[in-house]
Amino acid sequence: MIDFSMYDVKAPQIDAWKCDSCGTIFYPVPMVCSGCGVRRDPVTNKGWSTFELSGPCTLLTWTRVWNLPEGYNKKFLQFGIVEFENGLRASGRVEVDEPRTGMALTATVEESDERPGDPVNVFVFK
């Protein structure tokens, strides 16, 4: 595990969002809150707050994909959909040897540079 505190870089992170007006949480963030209808200003994001989406989660389903798109020089990758304790769900990669639906996992975030362009943050459920 890299100790990012030693360096002037931030550990990769994926955020979920909360509408401060009604408390509804989202991932990804919408333009209009489905709870109270308030619109988000995409420049200021006033009235909306973010929080890190990570930690314990439950695997809802998974697959092992053998025909990866261009850029992924791997034999296969595993993907899954998880549910967090706060009820939010997310799709991402699964890195356990024998995935099972319903198993407890921990969501981590890593940087991916497989595709062209800027690196992106991806969920890796372990």
Partner 1 sequence: MAARVGIVGIGHTVFGNLSEYDLADIMAYAATDALKDAGFLDRRKEIDQVLVANMASGMLCHQSAVASALVSRMDMEPVPAELVENGPASGASAVKLGYMAVASGLADLTLVVGGEVMRRVTGWNATDIVATMLDTDTEYNMGLTLPGFGGMFTRLYMEKYGMEERDLALLAVKNHDNGFKNTYAHIRAKCTIEAIADGPEAAVVNNYVAEPLRMYSTCPVSDGGAALLLVNMDAPIAKEFPKKPIRIAAVASATDTHCVHNRKDPLELNAVRIAAEKAYKMAGIGPEDIDFAELHDAFSILELAISEEVGFFERGKSYLAARKGETAIDGTLPINTSGGLKSKGHPVGCTGVSQVVELVRQLRGEAEEGRQVKDPKYGMSVNFGGFGNNVASVICAKD
Cβ atoms of residues 33 and 40 within 8 Å? yes
What letters, b where the CB count within 10 A reaches 16 and e where it falls short, cover 106-126?
ebbbeeeeeeeeeeeebbbbe
> Does 69 contact partner 1 by CB under 8 A?
yes
Closest contact distance (angstroms) between CB of 3 and partner 1 is 26
Dihedral angle sign, alpha carbons of residues 51, 32, 118, 90: positive
> Does 112 contact partner 1 by CB under 8 A?
yes
> Does 110 contact partner 1 by CB under 8 A?
no
Out of 40, 80, 107, 108, point to the residue binding partner 1 (CB under 8 A): 80
> Does 90 contact partner 1 by CB under 8 A?
yes
Out of 65, 86, 106, 126, point to the residue binding partner 1 (CB under 8 A): 65
Burial group, residue 105, by CB count within 10 angstroms (0-12, 13-18, 19+): buried
List contacts with partner 1 (CB under 8 A): 27-28, 60-72, 77, 79-81, 89-93, 101, 112, 114-115, 120-123
